Structure 1
Amino acid sequence: MKKSILNIQSSAATATSITRQLSDELIAKISGDGDSVVQRDLNEPISFVDESWIGAAYTPEEKRSDEQKSGLALSDALIAELKETDVLVIGAPIYNFSVPAVLKAWVDQIARVGVTFNYTEYGPEGLLTGKKAYIVVATGGVPVDSPADFAVPYLKQVLAFVGIKNVEVIAAEGVSMDRDGAIEKARNTMAGVTAVAA
């Protein structure tokens, strides 16, 4: 069965980006004939949440003004991409112990109560279930999932919060010390990844 893959890229680098390179290799591995790949490059800026956005998001849809609808148009488009995808690939270099600001901006745009999650009497409930996600991460020297890593645990939490709990991490750790070795280790992890059925 054909599937849709959404590739979110957040590295400020392009030609030299390890996360972009490894994400492309991963997508080539997990995709098949007829699969579609949607590219969302966050180098094309994502606006930050502001007061007007919050006001619009917490106004019932049927009561939103044209201005409020316009203010949520980007968020609606990003969420539609997520809803329509079967597999999510996030390229996330670690910048100063955390995710790039553009990736945090994307998270803030797609995490919307009543749209991608709900609050219930039992706590938050994610609505984007049945999806697979890969986090492709590169670090200069921070070990993934160490106390100094505020990126990968954060992304896992965000994804789980909106209902995406099937998450794998492909990590190139310590590229500032041994770039080639870090990439090779990430590729070794990737070698165990199998094509994902829709």
Structure 2
Amino acid sequence: MKNILVITASIFGQNGQSSQLVNQTLDKLTRQHPDASVTLRDLAKNPVPHLDAERFGAFLAAQGEPTAEQADVLAFSDALIDELKQADAVILGVPMYNFGVPSVLKAYFDHIARAGITFRYTENGPEGLLADRPVYVLAARGGIYAGTTNDSQTPFLRSFLGFLGLNSVEFVYAEGLNMGDDQKTSALDQAGTEIDALTA
């Protein structure tokens, strides 16, 4: 493993529980692969612009003659995609906000989902164009949602990442973090045990 891409999205930065689980996972992987380079992308600290008509228009203009402004948008998106392509593994921290993923993470996704580059449509349906690689999703939640109809994150992330060709997705959940100290401690300990098992 030569390159590890780390993506966090907690509004609490490195103090966020999802970010701390990400750091545990990264520590395990870098111990196993001490020569691996690590790229850190903190979407809360350095957010990707949300998709609007102008940015979407730039993506549509990619095969034509984009304006200077559109070329800048495309270059930004291309850099994010290249960063992802270069990664041998991705560590993704995902707190739950109002039953969904953070909006900054959705904005990032909107910039890496590019027709003809990371996916394409065929007569047999969509096909992901990214080579598969491990994606570790560290999900931190105040309540308990995994396996229930209120867990909108897991199916969305599986669908989106699979759409791009990333199917080797492993989830670690730390849930009930706002349901008392005992529950929080137990959930974080269990998540740590699962991280150890996944990265063994």
TM > 0.5 = yes
| Residues 66-75 or 169-178, more deviating | 66-75
Aligned to 1:180: 185
Q: Offset of 1:74 from its aligned partner? A: 2.1
Partner of 2:61, secondary structure, is: coil
Does the 8 A contact of 1:145 with 1:153 survive in 2? no
Question: What's the Cα RMSD here?
Answer: 1.3
Structure with the larger helix share: 2
Q: Offset of 1:58 from its aligned partner? A: 1.4
Output the amino acid matched with 2:16.
S
| Residues 71-80 or 174-183, more deviating | 71-80
Aligned to 2:61: 59
Partner of 2:104, secondary structure, is: helix
Partner of 2:23, secondary structure, is: helix
Match runs of 1:39-78 below 5 Å: 39-43=40-44, 44-78=46-80
- CA shift digits 1:30-80 (9 cap, x unpaired): 221210110000011210111111212112435222221112232111111
Q: Work out the CA distance in 1 between the residues paired with 2:13 and 2:69.
A: 35
Identity within the alignment, %: 40
Structure 1 unaligned blocks of 5 or more: none
Q: Offset of 1:139 from its aligned partner? A: 0.6
Does the 8 A contact of 2:25 with 2:199 survive in 1? no
Aligned to 1:149: 151
Does the 8 A contact of 1:97 with 1:142 survive in 2? no
Output the amino acid matched with 1:89.
I
Q: In the alignment, is residue 12 of structure 1 matched against residue 14 of structure 2?
A: no
Output the amino acid matched with 1:39.
L
Distance 1:120 1:93, change over 3 A: same
Output the amino acid matched with 2:195.
M
Partner of 1:63, secondary structure, is: coil
Q: Offset of 1:81 from its aligned partner? A: 0.8
Does the 8 A contact of 2:9 with 2:94 survive in 1? yes
Does the 8 A contact of 2:143 with 2:177 survive in 1? yes
Q: Work out the CA distance in 1 between the residues paired with 2:23 and 2:15.
A: 13
Output the amino acid matched with 1:186.
A
Partner of 2:151, secondary structure, is: coil
Q: Work out the CA distance in 2 between the residues paired with 1:80 and 1:71.
A: 14
> Number of aligned pairs?
194
Output the amino acid matched with 1:187.
G
Q: Offset of 1:129 from its aligned partner? A: 1.7
Aligned to 2:39: 38
Output the amino acid matched with 1:35.
A
Which of 183, 189, 197 aligns to 2:194? It is 189
